[in-house]
Amino acid sequence: MQKTPGTFELLKTAPTGRARRGRLHTAHGVVQTPIFMPVGTLGTVKAMTPHEMKDLGAQIILGNTYHLFLKPGHKLVEKMGGLHQFMSWNGPILTDSGGFQIFSLKDQRKMTEEGAIFRSPIDGGEKHLLSPELAIEIQESLGSDIMMVLDECLPYPAGRDTAKTSMELSLRWAKRSLAARTRADRLMFGIVQGGMYKDLRSEYIERLVPLTHTGRTFEGIAIGGLSVGEPPELMWEMTEHCTAHMPTDKPRYLMGVGTPEDLMECIDRGIDMFDCVLPTRNARTNKLFTSTGDLNIMNACFTEDAGPLDENCSCYTCQNFSRAYLRHLALSKEILGARLNTIHNLHFYLHLLDRARLAIEEDRFPQLKAEVIAKRRSQ
Amino acid sequence: MQKTPGTFELLKTAPTGRARRGRLHTAHGVVQTPIFMPVGTLGTVKAMTPHEMKDLGAQIILGNTYHLFLKPGHKLVEKMGGLHQFMSWNGPILTDSGGFQIFSLKDQRKMTEEGAIFRSPIDGGEKHLLSPELAIEIQESLGSDIMMVLDECLPYPAGRDTAKTSMELSLRWAKRSLAARTRADRLMFGIVQGGMYKDLRSEYIERLVPLTHTGRTFEGIAIGGLSVGEPPELMWEMTEHCTAHMPTDKPRYLMGVGTPEDLMECIDRGIDMFDCVLPTRNARTNKLFTSTGDLNIMNACFTEDAGPLDENCSCYTCQNFSRAYLRHLALSKEILGARLNTIHNLHFYLHLLDRARLAIEEDRFPQLKAEVIAKRRSQ
């Protein structure tokens, strides 16, 4: 049954570990968690139609505030009926705030109290100020179901003082973001920063969660600033530390993560939502995820390989095409190669999460995790 | 009912003009003519899956002997079960002989009695000899349903002596091609050359049609060497001259033609089969065919255009996306843009031929032709 947008139903928590099975309600439908959200940067999940995304079982996709602000512009998208109508996707959309993309601009950005000042290569280096309020205004124009607050993302490694100063700024921005929301039916998630300092992370959570504006809080809490160059084990450890301090009644979103192993490890540590460009980006450079490990389809060993990409896969690509054909498409730089690879990689991720949800329901998530990881190491 | 491959049933000839409605039987099914055959150069119709091609109503697609010979190699394709299985297309496939591509290499090729000697940029300039026999061997390895003979394509303009000499060589090659065929269930078409000289064209036809080998003739006759730079009116005139001299009981294929107007004009002059890269190639450079004329979707006038590409079109693209969105995809160089444009352009061509077949059946092809051309000139 459809409930008020923002309602999060925690259906189950694993008896061992912290894996959770839940349901998040949005204005465009329910999201079954844990969930992987494919990235649709510029109003399209690269190489895919929205109808193919539905067929693959994608429940929710991402849009990028930073990119859509610069191209084609959020005002145009709004005029065209919002991002859902513009890209012909009627399911839930989560938009990031642009913070991470601006962080990636390195010396072409400057953080001020007011907001992030940056020059972007996308529009030829024009100067922009993205304030927390503008980030929300853009996301409301896009019609996003789940909006993210603007935050400052720290480089890795970052000193403690830098992390502390940055954290204070991001917290002030979080408060301003909450006050900037005008739409009752749209969700907003706060983002926990604090670098690799556990005490800063817990302090951040303690101060972020109680923030309210006219009675409304953040409907979900995200963990930002991870997967920025630190070793995977440290990322998992920081995630584990954060989820231990996060409320259980709100969805937890680990931003920009990760490999199939990261997903298994972090579901086990209590994460409900993930997004990552890995399956789509890797597909376009011919790097493919399989149940027995990853491969590059350009490799000469696949020249005469009549078998499917992954023996255990039921996706369109694996059901219809051989490794030899996919290699030929890759070498020939055919668009169909990027498409078939993307279908496979997205199926791999989405199906992995399908299996995770089922395993949590059936109290066997730790076994699934061990099995998936061991099998992927087998080759 | 499925008949012996090579059987051509002429169902109807228009009472005015020469438009024909027919059925050509191949080892992979029947082709309803007149027909447009999308080009799948390297074992894929660019940007499309074979299943999407079926959905669009494509009955037969092209493969390129020249390209597949060099990449991935016909022996590999054969080892993978042939081109049908390699690319997962179970309908008929026509392969050209490579003659036109070698012609396009200009100073990197040389014609000898034995065959065409060329260096190709595809494999880094290695030297190859493509003989008429090898062209057939390659096409049989690919498993092509309709094979084309190797011929020499003339530049435009070409002197009469050159045209005559070239014609004699191509005729000798046609004879050798016919003798090279080993598969009983595969069709072979001869190709009429002769430049822009009507008497050479008629002489070519007179000498080509009676050629036999062990009782088998060419199952179809193609017109080559047109649409090579001459004005459309001259191309139509040459086509009209050729079809007047061609047997009525064999399918007639006008190679590499053309615009929607060319198709209407040449169906009216008795052509049954067409292929052209225009719909697919133009799609990838954002040039789109519509019922009211052609447009470039990058044009600034479409920035805020919420309407479909073509009001009168029932394709997936026009049913789901706006001109503003397609322009955004084009500007962002998104793969989805190439895909949606290709779907639309192919639908436009295939649907135009659907309408042509129906109009011929209903004795109103000249009206359809006039209507289509007038409407496309209206904007």
Residue ranges of domains in chain B:
8-276, 283-377
Residues 6+ apart with CB under 8 A from A312: A290, A291, A292
CATH of domain A8-276: 3.20.20.105
Contact B335 A339 (CB under 8 A): yes
A 10 A CB-CB count for A365 gives 27
Q: Is the pLDDT of residue B100 over 90?
A: no
User: Which secondary structure element, helix H or strand E, spans residue A10, and what is its range?
Assistant: strand A8-13
Residue A1: burial class (beta carbons within 10 Å; 0-12, 13-18, 19+): exposed
**Contact (CB<8Å) B328/A43:** yes
pLDDT for the residue numbered A50: 98
Q: Are A266 and A236 in contact (CB under 8 A)?
A: yes
Pairwise CA distance, residues B39 & A35, whole Å: 40
Q: Do B335 and A334 touch (CB under 8 A)?
A: no
Q: What is the pLDDT of residue A90?
A: 98
Chain A residues touching residue B42 (CB < 8 angstroms): 328, 332, 334
Q: Which of A316, A332, A340, A346 to mutate to test the interface with B (most CBs of B within 10 A)?
A: A332
B294 in catalytic set: no
ω before B34 within 30° of 0 (cis)? yes
Catalytic residue among B185, B275, B310, B363: B275
Interface residues from chain B to A (CB-CB < 8 Å)? 42-44, 46-51, 71-72, 76, 79-81, 86-88, 303-304, 306, 316, 320-322, 324-325, 327-329, 331-332, 334-336, 338-340
* Residue A225, token pair as written in the block: 């600033």
Distance from C-alpha of B206 to C-alpha of B328, rounded to nearest angstrom: 54
DSSP string, A84-119: HHHHT--S-EEEE-SHHHHHHTGGGEEE-SS-EEEE
What is the distance between the alpha carbons of residues B149 and B147, in angstroms, rounded to a whole number? 7
Please report the pLDDT score of residue A20 as a whole number.
Answer: 98
Asked whether B164 and B200 are in contact (CB, 8 A), the reply is yes
Residues of A with CB under 8 A from a CB of B: 42-44, 46-51, 71-72, 76, 79-81, 86-88, 303-304, 306, 316, 320-322, 324-325, 327-329, 331-332, 334-336, 338-340
B193 and B151 in contact (C-beta within 8 Å)? yes
CA distances from residue B15 to B11, B20, B31, B252 in whole angstroms, order as listed: 13, 10, 23, 19
Across the interface, of A43, A325, A336, the residue whose CB is closest to B86 is A325
- Give the per-residue pLDDT at B99: 85
Q: Which residues contact B168 (CB under 8 A, 6 or more apart)?
A: none
pLDDT digits (tens, 9 = 90+) for B1-45: 789 999 999 999 999 999 999 999 999 999 999 999 999 999 999
pLDDT at position B104 is: 87
pLDDT > 90: what percent of chain A?
A: 94
Helix (H) or strand (E) holding A34: none
Q: How far apart are CA B46 and CA B282, in angstroms?
A: 11
The CA-based angle A68-A73-A75, given to 5 degrees, is 120
Q: Buried b vs exposed e over A26-44: b needs ≥16 C-beta within 10 Å? A: bbbebbbbbbbbbbbbbbb
The per-residue pLDDT for B107 is 84
For A227-284, write each residue's pLDDT tens digit. Answer: 999 999 999 999 999 999 999 999 999 999 999 999 999 999 999 999 999 999 999 9
Q: Which of A87, A306, A334 sits opposite B42 (nearest CB)?
A: A334
Q: Would you please indicate which residues of A are annotated as catalytic (active-site) residues?
A: 96, 275
| Residue in B291, B193, B240, B343 with CA at minimum distance from that of residue A51 | B343
Q: Could you tell me the CA-to-CA distances from B193 to B152, B160, B226, B244, B251 in Å, in that order?
A: 8, 12, 9, 15, 17
pLDDT given for residue B120 in this prediction: 85
Q: A207 in the Ramachandran plot: left (φ > 0), alpha (ψ -120 to 50) or beta?
A: alpha
Please give the sequence-ordered ranges of beta strands (E in DSSP) within chain B, or none if there are none. 8-13, 20-26, 29-33, 35-37, 61-64, 93-96, 109-111, 116-119, 127-130, 146-148, 187-192, 220-223, 252-254, 273-275, 287-290, 293-296
Mean pLDDT of B177-188: 97
Q: Is there a contact between B339 and A335 if contact means CB atoms under 8 Å apart?
A: yes
Using CB atoms, which residue from A48, A316, A332 is nearest to B336?
Answer: A48
Please identify which residue in the block is written with the tokens 């047109």. B226
Structure tokens at B86: 């390699």
Q: In sequence order, what DSSP letters do the residues of B289-314 get, joined into one string?
A: EETTEEEETTSGGGTT--S-S-TT--
pTM given for the model: 0.98
Identify which of B44, B50, B328 has the shortest CB distance to residue A334. Answer: B44
Mean pLDDT of chain A: 97
Which residue of A lies nearest to B337 if distances are taken between CA atoms?
A47
Is the predicted pLDDT of residue A379 greater than 80, yes or no? no
Secondary structure class of A172 (helix, strand, coil): helix
Q: Please answer whether residues B258 and B347 qualify as being in contact, where contact means their C-beta atoms are separated by less than 8 angstroms.
A: no
pLDDT grade for B378, boundaries at 50, 70 and 90:
confident
CB contact under 8 A, A76 and B303: yes
Cα–Cα distance measured from residue B129 to residue A146, given in angstroms and rounded to the nearest whole number: 62
- The encoded tokens of residue A53 equal 């995304």
Q: Are A28 and A84 in contact (CB under 8 A)?
A: yes
Task: Give the helix/strand (H/E) hosting A23.
Answer: strand A20-26
Q: Which helix (H) or strand (E) holds A371?
A: helix A365-377
Q: Strand A61-64 and strand A29-33: pairing?
A: unpaired
Query: Which among A49, A86, A325 has the least Cβ separation from residue B336?
Result: A49
For position B124, what pLDDT does the model report?
82
Are the beta carbons of B324 and A86 separated by less than 8 Å?
yes
Q: What is the mean pLDDT of residues A125-151?
A: 96
Q: In what order do the strands lie in the sheet with B93-96?
A: B35-37, B273-275, B252-254, B220-223, B187-192, B146-148, B93-96, B61-64
What is the spatial distance between Cα A319 and Cα A337, in angstroms, rounded to a whole number?
15
What whole-number distance in Å separates Cα of residue A320 and Cα of residue B44? 13
pLDDT digits (tens, 9 = 90+) for B52-86: 999 999 999 999 999 999 999 999 999 999 999 99
How far apart are alpha carbons A278 and A287 in whole angstroms?
9
Tell me what pLDDT residue A378 has. 87
Q: Which of B41-50, B70-79, B98-107 has the lowest mean pLDDT?
A: B98-107
Per-residue pLDDT of A161-190, as tens digits, reads: 999 999 999 999 999 999 999 999 999 999
pLDDT in tens, A290-302: 999 999 999 999 9
Among the partner residues B47, B324, B329, nearest to A44 by beta-carbon distance: B329
Instruction: Find where tokens 């303009």 sit.
Output: B157
As a whole number of angstroms, the distance between CA B235 and CA B244 comes to 14
Q: Is the pLDDT of residue A70 over 90?
A: yes
Is residue B96 part of the annotated active site? The answer reads yes
**Is the pLDDT confidence value at A121 over 90?**
no
A124 falls in which pLDDT band (50, 70, 90)?
Answer: confident
The CA-atom distances, in angstroms, between B43 and each of A85, B47, B60, B345 are 35, 11, 13, 19
What is the spatial distance between Cα A255 and Cα B18, in angstroms, rounded to a whole number? Answer: 65
Q: Do B324 and A71 touch (CB under 8 A)?
A: no
Question: Which residue has tokens 């092509």?
Answer: B144
Question: Across the interface, do B335 and A79 touch by the CB < 8 Å criterion?
Answer: no
Q: How far is residue A345's CA from residue A296's CA, in Å, rounded to a whole number? A: 12
Q: What is the reported pLDDT for A125?
A: 84
Under an 8 A CB cutoff, do A72 and B331 touch? yes
- Kind and range of the H or E run holding A274: strand A273-275
Residue B184: left if φ>0, alpha if ψ -120 to 50, beta else—which one?
Answer: alpha
